[in-house]
Amino acid sequence: MRQSHLFTKTRKEAPADEMSKNAELLIKAGFIHKEMAGVYSFLPLGLRVLQKIEAIIRDEMNKIGGIEMRTSAIQTKEVWEKTDRWSDDVVDNWFKTTLKSGGEIGLSFTNEEAYSTILKQYIHSYKDLPIYPYDFKTIFRNETRAKSGMLRGREFYWKALYSFSKDIAEHDVFYEKAKQAYKAIFQKVGIGHITYVTFASGGTFSQFSHEFQTITAAGEDTIYIDESKGIAVNKEVYTDEVLAELGLVKEHLIEQRAVETGNIFSLGTKFSEPFDLAYADETGVRHLVIMGSYGIGLGRLMGTVAETLSDDKGIVWPESIAPFRTHLLVLGDSAAVKSEADRVYAELTEKGVEVLFDDRVGMSAGEKFADADLIGIPYRLVVSERSIEAGGIELKKRIEEKGMVVPLSELVDMLTARN
């Protein structure tokens, strides 16, 4: 992509009412546009990051047997009345409206009822199980106070997988697979080293649920980490009894602020029972389906990366989810420099290397360097009179202070070897 064709531009300031670091950086760098508190549009650069996060999650879900589909955001009152979650007294963050033809509808704030009512049409026998459907969709929550930028929103894009199993034993096997898949996701997006499997309340149907909490001062949760074991406990279940059960020693735990970037829950029969979601076993006896829930917010994950992987110059994207792998800057107005920059861009693009080409004119080298640091693409390439005289292109990693001049053929080999 040529940056001169990219309609978005960097900004010196974020909106005055935006206090969160993640949203400030993403807005200033041109990744997102703030519509209102808790609602953001993804601009071209932001969409590329979001799509890469989605691809990583999709790959991990497919590896453990997930089947992708798409549920509707519009939900009918009758379905949700079966679980008593239509009432505003029970769920206070619905977005609801009335159809012109009559009848109330709401916008999905979660997916349990939607999947249960759909799967009831297809689950009849033990031979139909297990099933692990999932989807990516926009979720709506009428939060009283949306805050922390991308970390809590009124409209957000997430992945939700639901497991439908014959019994607890079958459920537990998949639950552990999902836990490992989530660890892989956070590792691949670059925050595995600061994200911990965190024991939290399991509600009615299991002793614990598991959150994936990422360490950041911007987080709303307090967790206690055993770094040697790589696990943590949420403050809500931080009791002597729980610590003893988990084999944790209070004196070895470190208190940290964190943001929940994913969660997995055992649901038991909480949502299969209201819909009579059951199957017949080999002898014809009917049993309620055992369910589990596995959620992760993609926008929140993107915001968490921006919040935690940044410096005083801007964002530092991991290669796995950066909008482009390389940022090519052309410095100078001479025909020779422009011709060489075009040649580098064409060669890299032909070899499959993702390039954002800063071909903008009328900007100083300092302005281009500042924009490149703010946007945070992993590799910066510079074509200038000096680099041409030195026999190549200046290559510098975003996290390094100094670069080196590399011949084009060598540069292509280096970048394609990492693809």
What tens digit of pLDDT does each residue of 153-167 get?
Answer: 899 999 999 999 999
**Percentage helix, strand, coil for the chain under 3-state DSSP, each rounded to 5:** 35, 30, 35
pLDDT at position 204 over 70 = no
pTM of the predicted protein model: 0.95
Residue that the structure tokens 């209070």 belong to? 250
Q: What CATH topology corresponds to 3-73+108-308?
A: BirA Bifunctional Protein; domain 2 (3.30.930)
| Least confident segment among 19-23, 112-116, 253-257, 279-283 | 19-23
Give the pLDDT score at 341: 96
Helix (H) or strand (E) holding 101: none
pLDDT at position 182 over 60 = yes
Percent of the chain at pLDDT exceeding 90: 88
Please report, for the chain, the start and end positions of each structural domain, with discontinuous segments joined by +: 3-73+108-308, 326-417
10-39 mean pLDDT: 90
- Geometric angle at alpha carbon 303, from 232 and 198, rounded to 5°: 10
pLDDT bracket for residue 117 (50, 70, 90): very high
Give the pLDDT score at 419: 54
Mean pLDDT taken over the chain: 94
What tens digit of pLDDT does each residue of 247-297 get?
Answer: 999 999 999 999 999 999 999 999 999 999 999 999 999 999 999 999 999
* 8 A C-beta contact, residue 224 and residue 255: yes
CATH tag for 326-417 (out of 3.50.50.60, 3.40.50.800, 2.70.180.20, 3.30.465.10): 3.40.50.800
Give the pLDDT score at 369: 97
pLDDT bracket for residue 14 (50, 70, 90): confident
